[in-house]
Amino acid sequence: MLIAPSILSADFANLQRDLDRIANADWAHVDVMDYHFVPNLTLGLPVVESLLKVSPIPLDCHLMIDDPDRWAPSYAEAGAQSVTFHIEASKEPRKLAADLRAAGARAAMALKPATPFAPYEELLDSLDMVLVMTVEPGFGGQTFMADQLPKVQQVREAVQRRGGEVWVQVDGGVSATTIEQCAEAGADVFVAGSAVYGAEDAAAAVDELRELAKGCAAHA
């Protein structure tokens, strides 16, 4: 079970300091947005390369970009521990996942809220993680979409049926009030931006989220 604070809610003028504030987390979640796939622009490969040099914990890069087939492998080559591409933007997801693994990263596929999982279930054997978005991608601080929980459950059931080692990640509106529902539905990797960086003590918020998720039957 992993807690991955999103640095989208950090202070972009103090990213190293804000990574150090969450050194007790498992991964730092880095939201890469290109103003095309989503209506927001954040940071790209040069910044990720710099963050990799100073981060106390591994980076989990969530790429909300067009043409991930072309651009995503560079994030794996740079040293990101996990690289997530959106299935809506990939033309050759199986090849892309293989490229990410070959470059040494865990390969993950993300699904927007309107994107069903069933058509992509057959990709599970190429993947290390499936990200179920629980908000529309593009911005932090949005309201959690509980209607995505059946999809989380569906992915978890498919993973169990197939007997693979695929992690199920949730991202968007995850907080102390919503994380237990996610864990009960079968998620085991939790991204939280505003709930961590909006707290006075970010490290304490990470610990609280971890305890809440661990307390759920699915992880007991």
Ligand X SMILES: O=C(CO)[C@@H](O)[C@H](O)COP(=O)(O)O
What residues are designated binding site for substrate?
Answer: 6, 62, 138-141, 171-173, 193-194
HSE-CB at 130 with a 13 A cutoff on CA atoms is 31
Active site residue 171: yes
Cβ of residue 98: shortest distance to ligand X, in angstroms? 24
Q: According to the binding rule CB under 6 A, does residue 209 interact with ligand X?
A: no
Q: 33: which residues sit within 8 A by CB, 6+ positions away?
A: 40, 41, 42, 64, 65, 137, 138
Of the residues 62, 86, 151, 156, which one makes contact with Co ion according to CB under 5 A: 62
37-45, 94-102, 146-154, 165-173 -> range binding Co ion (CB under 5 A): 165-173
Of the residues 120, 141, 176, 207, which one makes contact with ligand X according to CB under 6 A: 141
Chosen from Co ion, ligand X, none, partner binding at 108 (C-beta under 5 to 8 Å by type): none
Nearer to Co ion, 26 or 31 (CB): 31
90-98, 115-123, 159-167, 168-176 -> range binding ligand X (CB under 6 A): 168-176
Considering only residues 31 through 50, tell me which ones interact with Co ion, judged by CB under 5 A. 31
In contact, 22 and 203? CB cutoff 8 Å: yes
Catalytic residue among 31, 34, 60, 188: 31
Q: According to the binding rule CB under 6 A, does residue 31 interact with ligand X?
A: yes
Single-letter amino acid code for the residue at 139: F
Cβ of residue 70: shortest distance to ligand X, in angstroms? 20
Backbone phi, psi, residue 214, to 5°: -65, -30
Nearer to Co ion, 96 or 108 (CB): 108
Strand pairing report for 59-64 and 189-192: unpaired
2-10, 101-109, 199-207, 210-218 -> range binding ligand X (CB under 6 A): 2-10
Angle at 20 (CA atoms; ends 14, 21), nearest 5 degrees: 90
CB atoms within 10 A of CB 55: 21
Nearer to ligand X, 47 or 98 (CB): 47
Q: 139: which residues sit within 8 A by CB, 6+ positions away?
A: 40
3-state secondary structure of 198: coil
56-64, 68-76, 181-189, 196-204 -> range binding Co ion (CB under 5 A): 56-64
Alpha-carbon gap, residue 78 to 98, rounded angstroms? 16
Nearer to Co ion, 202 or 220 (CB): 202
Rounded to whole angstroms, the maximal C-alpha distance in the chain is: 45
Active site residue 188: no
- Known catalytic residues? 31, 171
